[in-house]
Amino acid sequence: MSSGEKYVAAAYGVVFVMLLVYVVIIAAKLTRLERETAELAELARKRSSGG
Amino acid sequence: MVAAVAAALVGLAIVLAFFVAPEDADQGISQRIFYFHVPIALTAYACFGWGAWKALLLLWKREERYDLESYVAIHQGTIFGALTLATGSIWAKASWGKWWVWDSNQLVLFLVLFLFYSAYFMLRFSIDEGPRRANVSAVYALFGVALIPVSFFAIRLAEDFIHPTTFTREGPQMTGTMFFTFCVAWLAITVLAYALYRVELLGKRLDANLRELREALT
């Protein structure tokens, strides 16, 4: 691999890695929101069955 | 749907950049960084501009939703700004033999713009949530918008000739295939930024609604 090719690979790699990190962060956030929604739904269910 | 279109366009842009666009006679293979570096930089400007527009709408119409929209747009702009600096620095090393050149007004002004909007987050999160934070953040975002044309046109106003000028009054200084590849890459990055903006905004709105719901239930 020539030095020019290495720099091109590095530039495209940086974009790919940064977007991957962003997607992982968003996915983690969505997992948390899903868990919190389930907890709140459970809480609402308990409330309605309790009174 | 938007995310799928963005993924397809990014894939197409990569194929065009590596297999269709001819190799630059002057810079060789390192010129292929251009197809993503420039669209990413233009998208960063667009995101900062969009954030400032939403900030103006917040101050004008006093609707709370514009605060979150402005914040998410500036967050996107900062991500694309960091990518511009990273890819630009790698391209500079490949072309000029240096990671950074302080003599180039274009580079320094983009760094100033990036740091200005990075400080936006420090300001925003130093104030408690509420109308005051929204107003202060909006005013700051609006001040930053003045830096966008200065940074964008610095390349034409500067006389250092370090940073290359590809688009002149005579049109794009590249072949038709290169220009087509650039346009596809620009569209791809714009649609990608829009998809990320929508996903992040949706997540933030869901988060805020869930917080309200939790407070109501407990």
Q: With an 8 Å Cβ cutoff, are A15 and B210 in contact?
A: no
Contact A22 B90 (CB under 8 A): no
Least confident interval from A33-37, B28-32, B45-49, B103-107: B103-107
Which whole number is the average pLDDT over B196-218? 89
Establish if B54 touches chain A: CB-CB under 8 angstroms.
no
- All residues of chain B having their beta carbon less than 8 Å from the beta carbon of residue A12 are 14, 33, 36
Q: What pLDDT, on a 0 to 100 scale, did the predictor assign at position B164?
A: 63
Per-residue pLDDT at B217 exceeds 90: no
The reported pLDDT for the residue numbered B107 is: 85
- Give the minimum alpha-carbon distance from B218 to chain A in angstroms, rounded to a whole number: 9
List all residues of chain A from 17 to 46 with a beta carbon under 8 Å from chain B.
Answer: 18-19, 22, 26, 29-30, 33, 36-37, 40, 43-44
Nearest to B86 among A2, A14, A22 (CB): A14
Residue of higher predicted confidence among B19 and A47: B19
- Asked if residue B160 has pLDDT above 60, the reply is no
Please compute the mean of the pLDDT values over residues B70-88 and round it to a whole number: 96
| Chain A residues with beta carbon closer than 8 angstroms to that of B200 | 26
- Whether A43 and B129 have beta carbons less than 8 Å apart is answered as no
Nearest CA to B83 out of B196, B213, B175 is that of B196
> Chain B closest CA to A43's CA: distance in Å?
8
pLDDT at B91: 92
Average pLDDT over residues B86-100: 91
User: Which pLDDT value is given to residue B173?
Assistant: 72
- What is the pTM for the complete model shown? 0.88
Structure tokens at B175: 């072949």
**From residue B155, how far is each of A42, B196, B198, B212 by CA, in Å?**
58, 29, 32, 48
Contact B203 A30 (CB under 8 A): yes
Q: Would you give the DSSP letter of residue A5?
A: H
Mean pLDDT of chain B: 89
Considering CB atoms only, which of B29, B79, B217 is closest to A8? B29
Q: Under an 8 A CB cutoff, do B217 and A18 touch?
A: no
User: Is A7's CB within 8 Å of B33's CB?
Assistant: yes
User: What DSSP letter does each residue of chain B carry, written as one string?
Assistant: -HHHHHHHHHHHHHHIIIIISPPBTTTBGGGGGHHHHHHHHHHHHHHHHHHHHHHHHHHHH--THHHHHHHHHHHHHHHHHHHHHHHHHHHHHHHHS-S--TT-HHHHHHHHHHHHHHHHHHHHTTS-TTHHHHHHHHHHHHHHTTHHHHHHHHHHH-----S---EETTEESS-HHHHHHHHHHHHHHHHHHHHHHHHHHHHHHHHHHHHHHHHHH-
pLDDT band at B148 (very low <50, low <70, confident <90, very high): confident
How near does any CA of chain A get to the CA of B69, in Å? Answer: 17
* Each residue's pLDDT tens digit, B50-70: 999 999 999 999 888 999 999
What is the mean predicted confidence (pLDDT) over A13-20? 93
Higher pLDDT, residue B156 or A12: A12
Q: Cβ of B75 under 8 Å from any chain A Cβ?
A: no
What percent of chain B has a predicted confidence (pLDDT) above 70? 92
Chain-chain contact of A11 with B40 (C-beta, under 8 angstroms):
no
pLDDT in tens, B12-63: 999 999 999 888 878 888 889 999 999 999 999 999 999 999 999 999 998 8
Q: What is the mean pLDDT of chain A?
A: 89
Q: What pLDDT does B64 receive? A: 87
Q: Does B28 touch chain A (CB under 8 A)?
A: yes
Q: Judge whether residue B158 has pLDDT over 80.
A: no
Task: Answer yes or no: is pLDDT of B159 > 60.
Answer: no
Query: Which pLDDT belongs to residue B182?
Result: 94
Measure CB to CB from residue B196 to each of A4, A14, A22 and give the nearest one: A22
